[in-house]
Structure 1
Amino acid sequence: MNRFTKRREPFSFMLYLAMVGSALLFLFLIFVFISKEAVNQDIPIKIPGVFWWSTWMILASSATLHGANKAFREERFRSYRLNIGLTLLAGILFIILQGFGWREMLLSGITMSNNTGGMFIYILSGLHIFHTLGGLIALASVNKDAFQRMEYVDSYVYSVNPPNQLKIKLISIYWHFIDVLWIALFVFLLYHASQNPSDSH
């Protein structure tokens, strides 16, 4: 078992490296926004109300993913399939709700070209959606594995395979990272929207 795990250790390193790179990218964009705000004084930010719902949805996805991991370790495979399926569904709903948020902004006349605050919301949320799509592809893969193995024996054999254990572990780490990243971005946007009460929901 250790032999398989060690052989795939580079995957863990690459994942953490990618997450650090992504975090630095978002920090750079936030720094650019703060710099522009310092020059232009107040940059109005209007947070789409539906973003609150998308935030609760991605938090729910992390909760169901935690439940899926617990069930997987305890060999409760029916519960694992339910929770991993709900995680994928919540992730898809998160992106759909983000799309409704963009629609809400567009209907309010906020575009990337006519509103600096809106431009940063589009860029930050758009990049986050791009990262989320990668997580959804990975979640779809483990869902396919889970629902192809409905029998207990098949599920058990799958669960004790070290590469499969590592796969689920890395996907979970990445998805929780996506969750924390969005919460941090949302709090940042809310803070700046609160500086312009007339422009926020």
Structure 2
Amino acid sequence: MVVSARATIRPPAPSKIKILATADELFYQEGIHTVGVDRIIAGARVTKATFYKHFRSKDLLIIAYVEGRDRQARDWFAEQEREADDPKAIVRALVDSVNADAVQPGFRGDPFINAAAQFADENHPVRVAVTAHRDWYAKHMEELFRRIGHPRPGDAADDLILARDGALAGGYVGDPIAAGAALRRALDRILAES
């Protein structure tokens, strides 16, 4: 009898999903270091034993949070690429998405930059997870600009990522409309180089 790989993959326990959802909301809204395990346990409505069954430490939960945000970003790009074969449309959709997020209530900037800012040691597992995401993101953006036909796709990716980071920070601490307009102008300049 052959057992498919699909049959051996079990979905995460509902309690684990509740813990991750609660941590995702609280870590993003209030900051990783300000939210304690007891608060997550209370918010998820699980027992302490259940929490520690799924996450042996808060650091492991934080890494799962960062990796979950990474999966969301990868899924977003995968969906965009299924819907549009035009890489210019994808980078424009990215800018539109950043601008739409920045004006939402509860917007707190980039979750990866926020997480990295709370861990000074670049070798800490949380920083390693953030770096892995940003490395993937940069390579993915470079490939999009390569498909667009930009003469320097790596530089174009770097320029847009820096503008995006600035718009996310500016949208949080300043005027999100102005930050979004600046991000759109930056993308227009980068695309004009193609």
Q: TM-score, normalised by structure 2?
A: 0.28
Which structure's relative contact order is higher, taking Cα pairs within 8 Å and 6+ residues apart?
1
Between structures 1 and 2, the one with greater helix share:
1
Q: TM-score, normalised by structure 1?
A: 0.28
